[in-house]
Amino acid sequence: MNTSDVKYIEYGSIDSTNSEARRLIQSGELKPPAVLTAKAQTAGRGRQGRSFYSPADTGIYMSVVTELPKDANDIQLLTVRVSLAVYDAIYDVTGIKTGIKWVNDLYVESKKVCGILAETLYCAAIDKVAAIIGIGINISTKDFPNELSDKAGSLGISGDNIDVLKVDLAQKTAEYVLNMEMKYHDAHGLIETYKSRSIVIGKRISYEKNGAPIEGTAVGIDETGALIVKIKDGFDYLQSGEISLKNW
Ligand code: BTN
């Protein structure tokens, strides 16, 4: 992708970069490719209707707006591609190896350091569906609210160079996500790489299905990005949703 085509918008504080991208697309003021970043969010959103804690200056809060690929299979693999792109950006800029918790949460030592919220909507300006890929990376956040303190963590980076690092990491993340179709083109290689970075394969997990709790062992990821779970009487294939690890 030609980087000069990308529109960059920076905010001091905003409710949510994903919500703002949605509003701007709906009003016809924004079309892909675009990147919105904020120093702080007052109503950061996470998956499953949760909020995303986004205090000022301690993390990266950004939305990358891109056209959805035409191929339906690729749409299912979007979240897999995004998690690899963000993993690579974090590793290339900081040297920190994260682990991917299916579908696309990034962890360091059993604490979530990055969440990804991918949303889609029709963009009249290009007569196509756009993806709004929201990415929140905790860089130096320490004082999480009580309900998050045993689950959320940060990359633990501090020091004089933190502002430069944040700019580098935001740029690299945007670049990798905007180019993810090319960078992670081969579907087979993509899944193999994803599996090698997964922290759930081989682990006991639990999840809910039709309101009932289920336990099983995560044994693989299929070519569509679904999590393959060995359960009591066979295999389950999870296309989306939330899983919990029984032990780390
Ligand atoms: C999750 O952990 O469930 C996903 C969190 C996604 C957070 C990012 S921060 C930037 C963008 N704006 C939002 O409101 N959410 C995403």
User: What confidence tens digit (pLDDT) does each residue in 194-233 have?
Assistant: 999 999 999 999 999 989 999 999 999 999 999 999 999 9
What's the one-letter identity of residue 129?
V
Band of residue 173 on the pLDDT scale cut at 50, 70, 90: very high
Instruction: Please report the atom of ligand 1 found closest to the CA of residue 48.
Output: 3
Q: Ligand 1: which of 65, 83, 135 to mutate, most ligand atoms within 8 Å of CB?
A: 135
Beta carbon of 46 within 6 Å of any ligand 1 atom: yes
Beta carbon of 82 within 6 Å of any ligand 1 atom: no
The residue among 178, 135, 171 whose CA lies nearest residue 44 is: 135
Cα 218 from chain centre = 20
Beta carbon of 63 within 6 Å of any ligand 1 atom: yes
Band of residue 186 on the pLDDT scale cut at 50, 70, 90: confident
Instruction: State yes or no: pLDDT of 74 exceeds 80.
Output: no
> What is the distance in A from the centroid of ligand 1 to the CA of 59?
11
Two tokens at 152?
């959320």
Rounded CA separation 240/222 (Å) = 13
Provide the pLDDT for residue 184.
Answer: 85
> What is the distance in A from the centroid of ligand 1 to the CA of 106?
12
Higher pLDDT, 26 or 71: 26
Beta carbon of 17 within 6 Å of any ligand 1 atom: yes
